[in-house]
Amino acid sequence: LLRPGPWVFLMLRGGHFAGAVFRDGKPVVHKCFHRYVIRAKRGTIQSSRDKSGNKPKSMGAQLRRHNEAMLAEDIRGLMQDWSAHIGAADLIFLQTSTVTRAVFFGSKLGETPLDRHDHRVRGIPFETRRPTLEEASKAFARLFAVYQQDRAAVQSAAQPAASAKAREPLSDDEDAEVAAASPPPDEDP
């Protein structure tokens, strides 16, 4: 089966980021980092709490806001460094919440190599755990297995058409050519 070109995986959840570029089944480059952005006992990032109206002014809230900004800056910097890999990628798999999608597609926060309307950008169609290189590798393995099955199905669908043509009965002219080309059968007395 044909191998796909490079696939890029970008995963962000709860202050944890994992990014990896896979080529020929192996990670070419990868990077994982973490920032403290989750509110204790709430399980949500600080910016989603801030959007609800009453913006807390505590030191912890300020620290989480700062860490969210630094995390977004780190991710955009990494994506700029990987712009050659992202530009050459066949597919880009992205897993993030709707609140943090702006980190990947640019906004007032700054520009990134990804375009919101790029046909290569896809979501990861199943649930994953905390973003790590191991989770990105598992996601790659599952999606690549589906890719191989799909390619095998396409190839096997094309083969019956060719073999059906080979099984068609020969016309009278073709039958005569085959008979003339083949040696006569041995006769037993």
Count CB atoms within 10 A of the CB of residue 82.
20
State the pairing for strand pair 26-34/16-23: antiparallel
Burial class for 154, CB neighbours closer than 10 Å (0-12, 13-18, 19+): exposed
Separation of alpha carbons 89 and 81, rounded Å: 14
The helix, strand and coil proportions of the chain, stated in percent and rounded to the nearest 5, come to 45, 20, 35
Asked if 62 is an active-site residue, the reply is: no
Per annotation, catalytic residue among 46, 62, 80, 148:
46
* Residue positions annotated with a catalytic role: 46
